[in-house]
Structure 1
Amino acid sequence: MQAVERVLHHALRRLPISFVSNLGARLAWLKIRFIDPDVARKARANIRHHFPAMPEAEADKLAWRFVENVGRLMAEFSIVHRFAAAERMELVGADVARADIGKIPTIALCLHLGNWEVLASALQIMGVPIASISEIPDNAAHRDIAEATRSSFNVNVLPPDRNGALRALSILKGNGVLAIFPDEKRKGTMMAPLFGRQPHLKGNLALVAKLARRTGAQIVVAYCERVGETRFRLHFERPFHMDPGIENPLADVASLNSRIEPIILRHLEQWYYLDDSIGPIE
């Protein structure tokens, strides 16, 4: 199967952008409809959890739009490097966000929305070199494809361990840019957003707060919104610093969560983890 995935990835690189994305959407629809219907069921249940008053038909529509988005982004790994030249990207807030980049440490708080790999392309266009702490896929083919995609955008991928954290700290102390995804799943548990759960110190929100306080880094929330089948709006929120009046790590986590949770709820059908359960933090 991994050999097939590698061949398919390279074959798709030469095909029209819309064809590749639409193929991914169609294949995802077929897979979830006939092979793994629990994905749509779980996504629908989570939508109803977040929006209990939403009509069933609307929740079902959003669930299938989620399936479509996942299918598209998986296929788009083969063509994401072509979006910029094809003028399929719109940058919002980029000028303000990059005003002090290179002058002070910067943490890009990125979200798994739309096709988040497009963010790396946008940052490359902006002339912003980045490092990113990222999980390493277990699937060797997925790992190779992801690494090739990110290296083409000059992303320095750091391992999610102590060594990676030390390298991240060094980058920030050198006024570099570090990208961290706070909406993450660890060992089957969704760490963030909190979605009503108590703040905790076990996820990337706590890591961001710790690094920002230690280095004085500015924080920029960044996310990708799919506004058409293969068109994207890249949002860069206004930079901010951790509140100097707060010296409570849990309060820091709650504050950062308040920055990302509303964005994800506004674009829930484009959130990669919509079908994952939100359980207690162990």
Structure 2
Amino acid sequence: MDRARGSAPRHGVLRRLRYWLEWALLRSGVALVRLMPPTMAARAIGKGWRWVAPFNRRHQRALENIRHAFPDMPVDQREALARDAWENLGQVMAETLQLDRIVADRSRFEFDVDGVRETVGEGGAVIVSMHAGNWEVTALGGHAAGWQTAGVYQALKNPLTETLLHDLRAPVYPAGLFAKGHDTARRLLSLARSGGRVAMLADLRDLRGVVVPFFGREAYATPYPATIALAARVPLIACRVIRLPGSRFRIEAEVVPMPQSGDRKADALEATRRYHARFETWIREYPEQWMWIMRKWIDGPAR
């Protein structure tokens, strides 16, 4: 008993020390990356990830996911695709650390959002996107439509690095950037009902969610965005970011047709299927820009 009591404070000290070290490393990385122009930094770090990341065990998971998605693709092309995806992920990391500079340069962006602007009008909307291109700039599609957009994200355990990364992202979401939590759904529903626009990434695994077809296999998915859109009676918008050369981006959005059977649970499932079908089509167009390391599928790699 005494030994257990004595270990708790020691573990707390070690945890705080680890948090400070992680923060210091991240802060140093931010400072180093910001010494370079955004495009140069993204290119350099992207190339570094292309060659270093395949030594990570997640590389095998990516290869396995690619094999299932593209069964006719030769082995060497699957390897090249996985490395391309790692390079994109490295670029995203570098660009996130200079998000303010990238967002301020609107010449880096092209938009195709006129159709959804007309559909939404002055009302609220729920926007779903995926980990492709550079998802950190998804909300700029809302800016182009003249919207004040709120965002949702998964908070980090380390409160120091969490604050640093939150502060980098927050300016992109003028209506607020909310960490996932017990009270978040209620706040987002209230926001959507009052005419707000809420953006969230919806391609991650959700073990408490629903199961939908994705690349020919059953995959875990979150019905959260569809549930909010149905409850608030607002349009559901699917949005994607396409990476262009030189840390430039094209942002496109389209309306997801919402079922109206009266069975809200069944309608949320069907809407989730529909936006996952749209995600799959988009990913097949630019497979090198999606994050293939996810553990999304029921029969996928355990690690």
How much has 1:227 moved relative to structure 2?
2.0
Aligned partner of 2:37 in structure 1 is: 16
Task: After TM superposition, list the pairs within 5 Å mapping 1:129-140 onto structure 2.
Answer: 129-140=148-159
Aligned partner of 1:228 in structure 2 is: 245
Aligned partner of 1:280 in structure 2 is: 298
Kindly indicate whether residue 48 of structure 2 is the aligned counterpart of residue 27 of structure 1. yes
Q: What letter is aligned with 1:5? A: L
Q: What letter is aligned with 2:260? A: P
What secondary structure is seen at the aligned counterpart in 1 of 2:83?
helix
CA 1:9–1:223 in structure 2 vs 1: closer, same or farther (change >3 Å)? same
Unaligned ranges ≥5, structure 1: none
Aligned partner of 1:162 in structure 2 is: 182
CA 1:116–1:97 in structure 2 vs 1: closer, same or farther (change >3 Å)? same
How much has 1:226 moved relative to structure 2?
0.8
Residues 169 and 211 in structure 1, CA contact (< 8 A), matched pair in contact too: yes
The two structures have a TM-score, normalised by structure 1, of: 0.85
How much has 1:43 moved relative to structure 2?
1.5
How much has 1:178 moved relative to structure 2?
0.8
What secondary structure is seen at the aligned counterpart in 1 of 2:198?
strand
Percent same amino acid among aligned pairs?
Answer: 24
Higher Cα Rg: structure 1 or 2? 2
How much has 1:115 moved relative to structure 2?
0.7
Map Cα deviations across residues 232-253 of structure 1 (whole Å, 9 max, x no partner): 111112x244122463243343
In proportion to residue count, which structure has more helix? Answer: 2
What secondary structure is seen at the aligned counterpart in 2 of 1:185?
coil
CA 1:141–1:44 in structure 2 vs 1: closer, same or farther (change >3 Å)? farther
CA 1:139–1:19 in structure 2 vs 1: closer, same or farther (change >3 Å)? farther
What secondary structure is seen at the aligned counterpart in 1 of 2:49?
helix
Q: In 1, distance between residues paired with 2:91 and 2:40? A: 10
For residue 204 of structure 2, the aligned residue among 178, 184, 190 is 184
Deviates more, 1:175-184 or 1:251-260: 251-260
Q: In 2, distance between residues paired with 1:60 and 1:21? A: 21
Task: After TM superposition, list the pairs within 5 Å mapping 1:242-253 onto structure 2.
Answer: 242-245=258-261, 247=263, 248-249=266-267, 250-253=269-272
Q: In 2, distance between residues paired with 1:133 and 1:215? A: 17
Q: What letter is aligned with 2:180? A: P
For residue 41 of structure 1, the aligned residue among 42, 60, 81 is 60
What secondary structure is seen at the aligned counterpart in 2 of 1:87?
helix
The two structures have a TM-score, normalised by structure 2, of: 0.79
Q: In 2, distance between residues paired with 1:6 and 1:245? A: 51
What secondary structure is seen at the aligned counterpart in 1 of 2:183?
helix
Aligned partner of 2:6 in structure 1 is: none
What secondary structure is seen at the aligned counterpart in 2 of 1:44?
helix
Q: What letter is aligned with 1:124? A: H
Q: In 2, distance between residues paired with 1:80 and 1:26? A: 19
Q: How many residues align?
A: 273
CA 1:262–1:230 in structure 2 vs 1: closer, same or farther (change >3 Å)? same
How much has 1:229 moved relative to structure 2?
4.1
Q: What letter is aligned with 1:222? A: C
Aligned partner of 1:173 in structure 2 is: 193
Q: What letter is aligned with 1:209? A: A
Q: In 1, distance between residues paired with 2:59 and 2:155? A: 26
CA 1:224–1:151 in structure 2 vs 1: closer, same or farther (change >3 Å)? same
Unaligned ranges ≥5, structure 2: 1-20
Residues 193 and 260 in structure 1, CA contact (< 8 A), matched pair in contact too: no
Deviates more, 1:190-199 or 1:142-151: 190-199
Kindly indicate whether residue 18 of structure 2 is the aligned counterpart of residue 6 of structure 1. no
How much has 1:67 moved relative to structure 2?
0.8
CA 1:30–1:116 in structure 2 vs 1: closer, same or farther (change >3 Å)? same
